[in-house]
Structure 1
């Protein structure tokens, strides 16, 4: 129950105090409407109660304060007016909640996307793509539903307090009976709420696992189909679906169990309470009628409380899992202490740079220079440390010792985000979005025009094939660019790197999967960029040695040889 209150009062971009104020005000008017029934029923019976209840006296005092007569017409108007105001206030509270749900979900999604993209590089290595996708789609939606149930639970909770208060003002003995009935109903089925909560967490985690498995399958669909290896993956899906099925069954059984258990218990407890009220407490008829209404409402609201609590318990797992992800991404925020503006007009230097992953050295005592407006090539076998050097240059990793200099300025002093905006990067593991060629190049940047895109494609040697496509820049590339050839995908990736006119172009094994002829075309395109851009290419392919102004041979984390063709 405490967790549900935490969701209601802790959700961002909401105003719980305003909702609570409206609900309390609605409850106050509901007490007035209930209290006005007592003298009204007394007048209808022709003989007012000789010993009026505290609620009867309270209504009489309110009427006297406002100078209203304690007659039939006035009491009817008071009841109707109080109920109308109660309805308006309750609608205002829960109507606002409807808007707040959209704000809660949007805020959590936006915050997650922002924090996830701002995390340090090492954070991504431990994350599953499916978990993030599931959190943004499924968990965020269920978190909004959890907030809605939490708000509804608070509304019923306030309403329960209102009716218990009314019962106390009518008859303390009856209020005690109502409290006992409520406690019995809550505790008798509380174990079902626990089952629902546990099943909800299993559902959330199983759905996340299933989404991750779908993402992994799609990323590997071609080798799976080629080698006819789908059967093991089908078995993995079956296990996840089986776990999810079990969670849904437990949730359903707990829901129906609570509903019918309440039905049976309420019938027994109401009968016992009525017997005690008439045979032992000797409550007057008018008070008994109103008390009966109040008692029925108390038990009904408690039933709704339990049902809402159970619904919220099933959904709260999504809220807390998403909250955990938000906390982890916030803690993983990348530190950017540098303030100086990045500018590459002279060179990039590595001075005695060493870096290790844990206890494993990756690069050691690296000294090299990448002159501006030239093509520098890092060549060596896989695992030599070439890509790590690039990651240090980009600022994704921080050197354990030594210094990386940009035009003589230590990289630690430079605003790393400003530096990255001036980098064009083509990764080894090329992946296009399932979107148009235009969007794959601009990456959603609305400031880039079609002219910018075509200019970048011309630099990359891809303008001719794009122009021949039926939809041109509007052609959809397909999942991971599956509708295009390897060479076409590489040219689009290169155009993506060039479209913002960066100072530095980084090419990481861009031709490793291409045939010699296509590789030669790509290399020729890169050669044409020399002078306008600073180019650093990481490769183990010999074709790049022909265009390199500087060639560094890297092996086992060290620079073993340097060839300088053109002195800067």
Structure 2
């Protein structure tokens, strides 16, 4: 929970991708994740130190090869002192051995640093996903519906990854910034004049590149918006492709997706082009600065050739670090809008958070008398969906709610599950207010057979275990038998391990419905809710399902919602739901 709280607080940036926003993000990062910041940036600094030591070994190598030990620089005298301190002869052979070991160690350390940053991205992504999932769990159902599953999917799948990469880049920038100063210090030991001149030129280049950085941030915001639209459209296209293709209108949906894709590709090209332009300008500027420094050192300052070679080697490592820093900043500015997306998603989910009383410890172990809605009123948007509804569902009886679509039948089921919280009225279980009980415990006593059966792309057994984690094979076969679903499962060579395919498409409509009922019965519920259990079935399948429900009504408290009168014939109680009102039939 603490990690989720930290993730929630760190995404509270304005998301505009300005330099000020990045600075504040750096401060938040160090504040909320000091250990990760130290480990990530520390690995980069340690790597840079050993790279610096390895490059510095060039100076004695060139000096020894050149046969000159006069006018040793500060850096060269330090290296000679190091060999004296470890009681090793200062010779070409020993210097080359040291350089080889340093090079091998740097390669290993670079791989370890890459692993550390990959781990940081994974850990932050995990926390951002947990933050969104927690917000979904605590939000009112209406907030989740308003947000939309596609938007939530994009936030979990894409924006969480981008935001994690931004934080990883922040840590990398801290480390690279310290490493940059170390390299500048080493360059200054060789020639502070050349280093100062190069630093002034680099600062001037970055100042003139500021407008391009702002442009990159703006492009990143457009890409984030377009990317969400594309994913939403693709998911909607795939889910409705059969219907679109059957009516020969799939081309219209394809054209819309193509237009979004073209827009996305154009922005992506721009996103790649601007950093490339910035990199080219920086590289050309640094090259000119390095060449100018070499000319100044050799012509104006009379520096030894070995020191010029060393400075050139240091500049050769300093330049890529500056380019990596620039690329990291560009990538952060491009992905920074992900913070706005995540923060906006969480804020909207929490803005209308469920107001049920603080967690209750009282549990419900049985329904002896029944469940009742008493004077319940509920408004969704501008529409009064339930208007002073009072209805009782007696224990171990079948109560059928009839009525037209949109009349409020499914909303009553949502109230019974606690997904909808009435503005007025009470939901009573054996006369006790549902608000006095643990909502989690109540939901664990409920089983629902939805109008649209949702199955995971897995086996029957795996789908069952999602809803009843402790169930064994005997429990599963018993539930299948109650739902009259054993025949077709036993006929399959794999039995309970039979694969269902996408949304159970390997089964017929009647088989999916009976399997959905079996999955519900596996929970041994106190309250069984059926939402349009026969709406998509043929007459024969409908009759079989009706017979199954007739057997169940003496064992469970069953509430069935339907607009077809077939279930009314076997119902113990029948009510008509229309325009938010309930009347006995």
Settle same-fold status: TM greater than 0.5.
Answer: yes
Q: CA RMSD in A?
A: 3.7
Q: Secondary structure in 1 aligned to 2:378?
A: strand
Aligned counterpart for 2:41 among listed residues 12, 20, 30: 20
> Do the aligned partners of 1:373 and 1:534 also contact (CA within 8 Å) in 2?
yes
**Structure 1 runs not aligned, ≥5 long:** 564-568
Contact 1:164 1:178 (C-alpha < 8 Å) held by counterparts: no
Counterpart selection for 1:177 from 168, 185, 197: 197
Residues 333 and 17 (structure 1), Cα distance of their counterparts in 2 relative to 1, 3 Å cut: farther
Separation of aligned partners in 1, 2:538 and 2:303: 95
Q: Structure 2 CA distance, aligned partners of 1:437 and 1:521? A: 21
Whether 2:244 is the aligned partner of 1:224: answer yes
Deviations 1:249-275 (A, max 9, x none): 213323443343344333322232333
Matches within 5 A, 1:499-510: 499-510=522-533
Structure 1 residue 212 corresponds to structure 2 residue 232? yes
Distance 1:32 1:513 in 2: 74
DSSP 3-state at the match of 2:146: coil
Correspondence for 1:370: 393
- 8 Å contact kept, 1:210–1:240: yes
**CA distance in structure 2 between the partners assigned to 1:515 and 1:34 by the alignment:** 79
Per-residue deviation, residues 343-385 of structure 1 (Å, max 9, x unmatched): 3222212222222224432222222222211112222333332
- Label 1:252 to 1:465 Cα distance change in 2 as closer, same or farther (>3 A): same
TM alignment of 1:61-140, pairs within 5 A: 66=85, 72=91, 91-113=111-133, 115-140=135-160
Q: Which runs of 5+ in 2 are unaligned?
A: 1-18
How big is each residue's C-alpha offset from its partner over 1:545-565, in whole Å with a ceiling of 9 and x where there is no partner?
22222222333322333x6xx
1:224: Cα distance to partner? 1.5
* Cα distance, 1:417–1:258 mapped onto 2, change above 3 Å: same
> How far 1:508 sits from its partner (Å)?
1.8
Write the mapping of 1:103-502 to structure 2, written as runs, cut at 5 A. Answer: 103-113=123-133, 115-140=135-160, 146=166, 149-283=169-303, 285-317=305-337, 321-322=341-342, 325=345, 334=354, 337=358, 338-343=360-365, 344-443=367-466, 445-502=468-525
Q: CA deviation at 1:501?
A: 0.7
How many aligned positions are there? 559
On the 8 A contact 2:198/2:289 being kept in 1, the answer is no
The TM-score with structure 2 as length reference comes to 0.82
Q: Tell me whether 489-498 or 430-439 shows the greater mean CA deviation.
A: 430-439
SS of the residue corresponding to residue 353 of structure 1 reads strand
Indicate if the aligned counterparts of 1:11 and 1:147 stay in contact, CA closer than 8 A: no
Give 1:246 shift. Answer: 0.7
Deviations 1:432-462 (A, max 9, x none): 4443344444436442233322222222222
1:549 to 569, 572, 581: 572
Q: Distance in 1 between matches of 2:352 and 2:302?
A: 67
1:489, CA displacement in angstroms? 2.2
Cα deviation 1:119-144 (Å, max 9, x = unaligned): 33112212333333344444555556
Contact persistence 1:27–1:158 (CA under 8 A): no
Deviates more, 1:409-418 or 1:151-160: 151-160
1:84, CA displacement in angstroms?
6.7
> How far did 1:502 drift?
0.5
3-state DSSP of counterpart to 1:125: helix
**Which residue is equivalent to 2:7?**
none
